[in-house]
């Protein structure tokens, strides 16, 4: 027993001496680990982007954990508070408050705790890739959600030169589909989505 302990002690001393003799070992390992974590983060973003564009590729009985809705508790807010948050977010991003209200109404019916079967979450139904893109830490936080959704919508409007129909189509079905069909994709869900929001924004007689 004593001999075994002595051997273990000697091995530990040797390891310490080797590490001390090569001070670059720890730094090298730290750099390697940082590189690995960076690659893993990049892979998660790429997979999320693929899943958003081609959800059928990943919708299996053993869906990856990153596709599951985040296990975050959600506390509903009053309708008045929700409207105020939406209007403030729209103004911060530089969008018409009526437009953002219409999108929220269509996406979640003003329910900050809404979660779709595809993994979209919150008032503006943010997909995981959008949450990553805009640094959302809690998709059920109404302010974070509206800010990120409004930023995405603003980007799409800029991308399509202010063409609202295309921007809304891209928000619903993804820019790839809009590019593929040169406009509103002929999917019933997207057509109804775009026409419903445009109807909400049109002057009522």
Does 86 lie in the same domain as 21?
Answer: no
- Residue 76 has a pLDDT of 85
User: Is 107 designated active site?
Assistant: yes
Catalytic-labelled residue, pool 52, 75, 107, 179: 107
Give pLDDT < 70 ranges for the chain: 1-71, 205
Instruction: Supply φ then ψ for residue 115, to 5 degrees.
Output: -140, 125
Residue 5 lies in a domain: no
- Report pLDDT digits (tens) over 40-93: 454 455 445 545 554 443 333 333 334 444 568 898 899 999 999 999 999 999
Residue 3 lies in a domain: no
Does 117 lie in the same domain as 154?
Answer: yes
Does 41 lie in the same domain as 124?
Answer: no
What counts of helices (H) and strands (E) characterise the chain? 9, 0
Q: Which CATH number covers residue 185?
A: 1.10.530.10
Q: At what angle do helices 142-159 and 164-173 cross, to 10 degrees?
A: 130
Question: ∠ CA(115), CA(68), CA(59), 5° rounding?
Answer: 100
Q: Which domain holds residue 27?
A: 11-67
Does 97 lie in the same domain as 196?
Answer: yes
Does 194 lie in the same domain as 104?
Answer: yes
- Residue 78 has a pLDDT of 93
Does 145 lie in the same domain as 181?
Answer: yes
How many domains does the chain contain in total? Answer: 2
Question: What would the DSSP string read from start to end of 171-205?
Answer: HHH-HHHHHHHTSS-S-HHHHHHHHHHHHHHSPP-
- Residue 35 has a pLDDT of 45
Does 83 lie in the same domain as 165?
Answer: yes
Does 178 lie in the same domain as 97?
Answer: yes
């Amino acid at each position: 027993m004593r001999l075994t302990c002595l051997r273990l002690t000697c091995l530990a001393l040797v390891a310490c001496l080797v590490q001390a003799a090569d001070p670059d070992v720890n730094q090298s390992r730290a750099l390697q680990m940082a590189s690995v974590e960076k690659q893993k983060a990049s892979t998660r973003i790429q997979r999320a982007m693929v899943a958003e564009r081609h959800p059928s590729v990943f919708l299996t009985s053993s869906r990856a954990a990153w596709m599951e809705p985040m296990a975050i508790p959600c506390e509903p807010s009053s309708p008045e508070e929700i409207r105020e948050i939406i209007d403030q977010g729209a103004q911060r991003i530089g969008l018409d408050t009526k437009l953002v209200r219409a999108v929220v109404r269509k996406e979640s019916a003003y329910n900050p705790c809404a979660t779709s079967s595809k993994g979209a979450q919150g008032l503006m139904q943010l997909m995981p890739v959008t949450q990553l893109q805009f640094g959302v830490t809690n998709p059920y936080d109404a302010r974070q959600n509206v800010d990120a959704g409004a930023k995405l919508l603003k980007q799409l409007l800029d991308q399509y030169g202010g063409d609202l129909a295309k921007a809304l189509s891209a928000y619903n079905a993804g820019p790839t589909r809009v590019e593929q069909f040169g406009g509103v994709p002929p999917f019933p869900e997207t057509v109804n989505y775009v026409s419903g929001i445009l109807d909400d924004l049109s002057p009522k007689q």
